[in-house]
Amino acid sequence: MLRSIRRHIAQSRTLAQNARDWLTLDENIVQAGRTPYDVIYEEDIVQLRYYPPLSQDIVIIDGRDVVVEKTPLPIPLVIVAPLAVNMFIYDLFPERSLVRYLRARGFEVYLVDWGTPTAHHNHQNLATYFADLLPDLLTRVRAHSGSEKLSLHGWSFGGLFSYCAAALGDSNIINLALVGAPNDYHANGQLGVYYQKLSRRLRSIEKRFGWRVHNSRKRFFRAPGWGNALSFKLTNPIGSLQGYTALLKNLHDSDYVSAHATNAAFLDRMVAYPGAVVQDFIQHLWVDNVLAHGKLPMRDCQSDLSSINANILAIVGRQDIIVNRDCAEALLDQVSSSDKTLIEVDGGHMGIVSGSRAPAQSWTHIADWLALRSGNTENAPATQTSAAKAGMQKIKNTLRRKNKTADAAIK
């Protein structure tokens, strides 16, 4: 009897501790952001990161062993992040880290972190990022790496920023690896139907009253971080609810709580959209749908998407309701590139870049496609000796178990 009471007390303490750690997102249980990097440039809230060579000979990604390539590929890779998200999405778990995987595959990896905009940044619009900030950051990557030629990888708006930067005349952007990158907003499924209705209404208002979204104050359009987090969760409300239900059922399991807390550290810490960016969303992208007409989302621009000659890989998600296949594929008709590849994979907008299936689907396609176009055809996925595999099997089994719980929120 006494032993049973002690056991229940111990279990209650474990539940309480796990609940407290989850609520506070204690840094000891959050596994994201553990791949080392150097900040090689910083201005205001923007950072440029460089991920140095890995010290390990083998890293485990998605329960599989990846031999670390010690000879870097000649063309560096710049990951251009979208807005609203924090950088945990690129380094979510040690065994599910895109930056770690790409570094292991031999790429010199840089990452553009746009930071956390405050009310003082409401003047920043879309062109601020792809026409002002990004070209300067790419110049600094070139100075640091010693290579004029670059590859850009962009997910979501990071993809839009990447191909718009290429359209502005940077002919040394050789490869564009795009994931869920939008183009034709009016072809975007049910959302596209909504955008078309909104376009007709706002065009009618403009015709009658001369009012456009940009005539209003920018601060009225600022989208706070908590609102962006809620919007992402509402794209899969059932999955979000199931995730929290599963958390309650597994509150006794510290590994499960750690995995869930790591996802929460990303999803619950999204950042704001500046007011002028949201104005550009509405007017340039949703109402005028300028990208579908080959134009860039900025005023008085002479460049267009036909200026792009870079090799393009476009990855789209079958279950992506934010940027569907038709929306993304339209870009390939706008550019002058001769090397264009479209790949469709399972997953929603966030899942195709960071979900449990992303390493086996999206990441391998990105790395293989880029390796063939980065000056070296020999960086194929490496294998590990049978002895080393046997020695790490216990670790791999643990990581597989964590992967099953880590997708509670990201689909």
Binned at pLDDT 50, 70 and 90, residue 88 comes out as confident
Query: Rounded CA gap, 235 and 230, in Å?
Result: 9
**pLDDT at 385 (0 to 100):** 37
Residue 111 lies in a domain: yes
Average pLDDT over residues 325-338: 97
Q: Are residues 66 and 383 in contact, defined by beta-carbon separation less than 8 angstroms?
A: no
Q: How many CB atoms lie within 10 A of CB 388?
A: 14
Residue 18 lies in a domain: no
**pLDDT at 241 (0 to 100):** 55
- Mean of the per-residue pLDDT values of the chain: 84
Residue 114 lies in a domain: yes
- Note the Cα 276 to chain centre separation in Å: 22
Q: Are residues 111 and 187 in contact, defined by beta-carbon separation less than 8 angstroms?
A: no
The residue with greater pLDDT, 1 or 331, is 331
- Percentage of residues in the chain having pLDDT higher than 70: 74
Query: Rounded CA gap, 263 and 267, in Å?
Result: 6
Binned at pLDDT 50, 70 and 90, residue 266 comes out as low
**pLDDT at 269 (0 to 100):** 75
pLDDT digits (tens, 9 = 90+) for 275-311: 999 999 999 999 999 999 999 999 888 899 999 999 9
CA-nearest of 309, 278, 345, 56 to 174 is: 309
Q: Are residues 295 and 283 in contact, defined by beta-carbon separation less than 8 angstroms?
A: no
Average pLDDT over residues 300-325: 95
Q: How many domains does the chain have?
A: 1
Query: Rounded CA gap, 53 and 411, in Å?
Result: 30
**pLDDT at 261 (0 to 100):** 47
CA within 13 Å, CB half, 238: 0
Residue 9 lies in a domain: no
Contacts of 164 (CB under 8 A, 6+ apart): 126, 130, 131, 296, 297
Q: Are residues 380 and 368 in contact, defined by beta-carbon separation less than 8 angstroms?
A: yes
Query: Rounded CA gap, 83 and 157, in Å?
Result: 7
Q: Got the DSSP string for 65-120?
A: EEEPP-S--SS-EEEE--SS--GGGGSSBTTB-HHHHHHHTT--EEEEE-----GG
Residue 394 lies in a domain: yes
Binned at pLDDT 50, 70 and 90, residue 390 comes out as very low
pTM of the model: 0.83
Length of the chain (residues): 411
Q: Please, what is the Cα angle at 276 between 204 and 288, to 5 degrees?
A: 35
**pLDDT at 253 (0 to 100):** 54
**pLDDT at 270 (0 to 100):** 82
Residue 19 lies in a domain: no
pLDDT digits (tens, 9 = 90+) for 171-230: 999 999 999 999 999 999 999 999 999 999 999 999 999 999 999 999 999 999 888 877
Residue 78 pLDDT exceeds 70: yes
Instruction: List the domain range (segments joined by +) for residue 233.
Output: 36-405
Which backbone phi and psi does 38 adopt, to 5 degrees?
-115, 140
Residue 319 pLDDT exceeds 90: yes
Query: Rounded CA gap, 273 and 124, in Å?
Result: 9
Residue 13 lies in a domain: no
**pLDDT at 231 (0 to 100):** 77
Residue 22 lies in a domain: no
Q: Which two tokens mark 255?
A: 């590994």
Residue 227 sits in a domain whose CATH number is 3.40.50.1820
